[in-house]
Structure 1
Amino acid sequence: MLELSYARALATPLMDGTPQSGPLPVPPAPAEEAAIMAEWEGDLSAPRVSVMCFAFNHGDYIRMALDGFLMQRTRFPFEIVVHDDVSTDGTREIIEEYAARYPNIVRPILQDVNQYSQHIWPITFCMPVMRGDIIAYCEGDDYWIKPDKLARQVALFDAYPEATVCFHPALEFNEATGEHSLICRYADSVKKISAEAVIGLRGASIPSPAFSFRRVDATVDAMMASYRGAPIMDFFLQSYMALQGETLYYEDAACVYRRNAKGSWTSQQQESEAEQRYQRDMISAIDVFHANTRHMPHSDSLYIPLYHYFKQYVMAPASPMQRLANFRQGVALLSHMDRSRLLRLVRQDVMTRLIGTRRRRVTPDSAVQKRKSA
């Protein structure tokens, strides 16, 4: 099977993709639990797939997420493990309602103290209790729209034993504009995506509600430890699993990814200071992540996102002096990755622009002063 390279994937509309006409698809009202489970075969207490859903103040969205999970038509059992991090907008009550209606399918994890504020990712609580050998991820403000999503992904995992990741395109819905577009469509058939592409595109390569991965028990603790202090989870989870084996893509847009949803990460990255803080934290997190994955093939692909975030962090301030300060601080953040390798990557653009900016500010004035003194 053809493997798509980083260069090929880079040419794909990842975000702000092909505009779509017509109404945005929504999942139907779900069937009763008995009707869903009637199609299952094998041991009903041993789900093949665990749906992992993280929710926080998703009261306007969580029903659609749960309905999208429950619309799945499969011959294998699945479970829905949904984690609520002390929502205050009715999200928890909706989850409890669904758990009461689908007691054999929906398994809530309801926190009494917000864990994210303590820098603890919800996956920390979900992984130990999920029973499936395939994990399908979707946050509570996104949702699925195709009833065969899980069936297709499981079939691909079964057909390709070396695969550790499987995903598909998405419809991206922009809450700010009300428009939706097709993103991350790499091809019109099943393909492999290189680990370099998954890592190099910095999380944009895989829409989060399209992402599923094979559970490898021996790596769970190491996986979570590798990005415990990271400012986001998706990029590192995707990268870690892509480094474990092959990444499979299929062509059907089976989910909706919300952009600029209330309280979402994309809605928060607006202010310059927040962006610079995020870039700085990503530099540090990638450095630690590389230290934990350097023994894996293709782990040096992490120099691609490192270069990206370093360049953004250095060039973000308007002041040349602050850019230089960010440059020095960014380099100092690296404790494990090769600083000289990073400097070779940035020499042609970041360092040249830094020096050029300073010369444009100083040299003309100096020349004028010399002419006057002459």
Structure 2
Amino acid sequence: MYNLLIRPLEIEDANISWKWRNDPEVWKFTGSKPNKEISPEIELQWIQKVINEESSKRFAILVDEKYIGNIQLTNITKNSAVFHIFIGDKDYWGKGISSLATYQLLYFAKTVLKLKTVELEVNLSHIAAIKSYESTGFKIVSQNEQIICMSHDLSELQNPTLSVFVMVYNHEKFLKQCLDGILMQKCNFSFDIVVGEDCSSDNSREILINYQKNHPGKFKLLLHKTNIGANKNQEQVLDNCTGRYIAICEGDDYWTDPHKLQKQVDFLENNPDYSICFHNVEEVDSNGKVLDIRHVISDSVEKTYTIEDLAEGNFIHTASVLFRRNFNELPSWFFTSPAGDYPLHIMNASYGLIKYFPEKMAAYRIGQGVWSSQTRQVQFVNTIFVIKLMMANLKLSNQVLKNFDNQISRLLLHIKDVVSPNIPQQSPENIAYNLSLKKLIIILLKKIRYSF
């Protein structure tokens, strides 16, 4: 399994790529035999020239951070371009590198350059390359005794296998760690990173634009012109996640295991009865220090859960979850919820089982997001509201409804114990007068009691 990325070609790459230019096994398939020996100086001059061309985009292919080949678009016009690729390091031939790199460049051509078609020519004897191109959507349009001409209609570009859902608002301090944890994933499938940046007042947007520039073919950036709020941002990010699977990593959380996505996708691919899988995480503070006391206690062994279990309480950390794309549109009531993760998990759990892995493969930051920065009292009240929304709008079994009711009863007792453990028989409304943000809580509790 490899970590494969493409990045803009750099002048320093000439120190490696000049050797590939002189390798007859390489240019045998590229069809571009040099008419003289290529020295490091000649290669350097070539790179200095082409990296500034307006009509081309030149990138290096990196496998586990090692430079192993080039991939590029030339003759770029408003609607089309010509595609080229060669894997110069022969140790990586026949390992699926070309297909993954090709997909990233085609994704870049479609989503960033807004091209409509990409064309290429390939040596008729290069059977492996032809099959690789066909697997990414290229079609043969003509051929002669030596060359096959192929074209790709980018409107037919396959969706990625997986989309990573990321919401960002004023996450400058944590964002690079979040993005690096995603980009380090080692996968044998394609994935994109869909980011909704909600008009932050810090440098979050500049960081994202720079990452997209340095890692073309990975990012779909939704850069909102004005602050649209968490609910609308969430809606737009989900709408743009086109993968068969979706993983979530908020801008202040981060992944720690490079095999996280592969392990979770492999499980769901091989277990069609499961709709969701998640794993253990480290709970950390704003400085990345592991907390002594966990907010959510996780098991130390693999387990299978059901929607009935989830109705007893939300035990899934957002940064750990990966699920099938079970529906194309979220219901309107979803966007009135104070929390988006719990109803999303419940809806997905209605399609299948839930798998838990005990390995810690991510870090969930406490006290930074909208939810984790709330007081426990406010979290209890908002959770009750979320549960009531789900009970009123989802078709749920009697057992799920019963478990929801039991959870509400426990939450009301928690509210009572936190505020005044020695005063019995208080109604939720009376308890609310003793809480912070009391006006908001009174409104929420009355809405819970009388609106459903």
* Same fold flag (TM > 0.5): yes
d(CA) in 2 for partners of 1:332 and 1:107?
38
Q: Which residue of 1 aligns with 2:306?
A: 194
Q: Distance in 1 between matches of 2:190 and 2:416?
A: 50
1:322 Cα deviation after fit:
10
The residue number in structure 1 matching 2:408 is 306
Distance in 2 between the 1:231 and 1:147 partners?
Answer: 32
How far off is 1:120 after superposition? 2.4
Aligned to 1:236: 343
**Which residue is equivalent to 1:340?**
none
Match of 2:320 among 185, 194, 210: 210
Query: Deviation digits for residues 180-227 of structure 1, max 9, x if unmatched?
Result: 4686542434x31232332322x3x11211011110125x333xx343
1:51-72 CA-to-partner distances (Å, cap 9, x unmatched) read 0011111101111111111111
- The answer for the alignment partner of 1:333 in structure 2 is 448
Deviation, structure 1 residue 240: 1.9
Q: Distance in 2 between matches of 1:89 and 1:207?
A: 26
Change in 2 beyond 3 A, CA 1:131/1:287: same
Matching residue of 1:84: 197
- In 2, Cα distance between the equivalents of 1:113 and 1:332? 30
Corresponding residue for 2:185? 72
Match of 1:154 among 265, 279, 282: 265
SS at match of 1:164: strand
CA contact (8 A) 1:260 1:267 kept: yes
Deviations 1:259-289 (A, max 9, x none): 123x55323427xxxx34x544433332121
Residue correspondences, number:
295
Q: 1:176/1:323 Cα in 2 relative to 1: closer, same or farther (>3 Å)? A: farther
| Percent identity for Structure 1 against Structure 2 | 24
Q: Which residue among 248, 257, 269 is the counterpart of 2:375?
A: 269
Structure 2 counterpart of 1:326, one-letter code: E
Letter in 2 for 1:221: L
SS of the counterpart of 1:131? coil
- After TM superposition, the structure 1 = structure 2 runs for residues 1-374 of structure 1, keeping only pairs within 5 Å, are 32-33=6-7, 34-35=61-62, 38=98, 40=100, 42-43=135-136, 45-116=158-229, 120-175=231-286, 178-180=289-291, 184-189=297-302, 191-201=303-313, 203=314, 205-217=315-327, 220-222=329-331, 225-261=332-368, 264-269=370-375, 275-276=377-378, 278-295=379-396, 298-300=399-401, 301-318=403-420, 323-324=426-427, 326=429, 330=445, 333-334=448-449
**Per-residue deviation, residues 72-114 of structure 1 (Å, max 9, x unmatched):** 1111100000111111110111011111222311111111222
1:113-161 C-alpha deviation (Å, 9 max, x unpaired): 2222xx6242200122211010000101111111111111111111111
State the AA in 2 paired with 1:93: E
Q: Are the aligned partners of 1:48 and 1:132 in contact in 2 as well (CA < 8 Å)? A: yes
Report SS of the residue matched to 1:104.
coil
The residue aligned with 1:14 is none
Q: Which runs of 5+ in 2 are unaligned?
A: 8-60, 64-96, 101-131, 137-156, 432-441
TM-score scaled to structure 2, two decimals? 0.58
**Partner amino acid for 2:361?**
A
| Larger Rg over CA atoms | 2
Query: How much does 1:320 deviate?
Result: 5.4
CA RMSD of aligned residues (A): 3.1
Greater mean alpha carbon deviation, residues 318-327 or residues 239-248: 318-327
Matches of 1:90 and 1:135, distance apart in 2:
26
> Contact 2:339 / 2:382 at 8 angstroms: preserved in 1?
no
Q: Secondary structure at the match of 2:330?
A: helix
Contact conserved, 1:48 with 1:134, CA < 8 A, in 2? Answer: yes
TM-score between both structures, scaled by the size of structure 1: 0.69
Which amino acid counterpart does residue 247 of structure 1 have in structure 2?
Answer: I
The residue type paired with residue 292 of structure 1 is: N
CA contact (8 A) 1:209 1:256 kept: yes
Partner amino acid for 2:308? E
User: Whole-Å Cα distance in 2 between the matches of residues 131 and 188 of structure 1?
Assistant: 32
More helix by share: 1
**Is this contact kept in 1: 2:343–2:386, CA < 8 A?**
no
Q: Structure 1 257/326 Cα, relative in aligned 2: closer, same or farther at 3 Å?
A: same
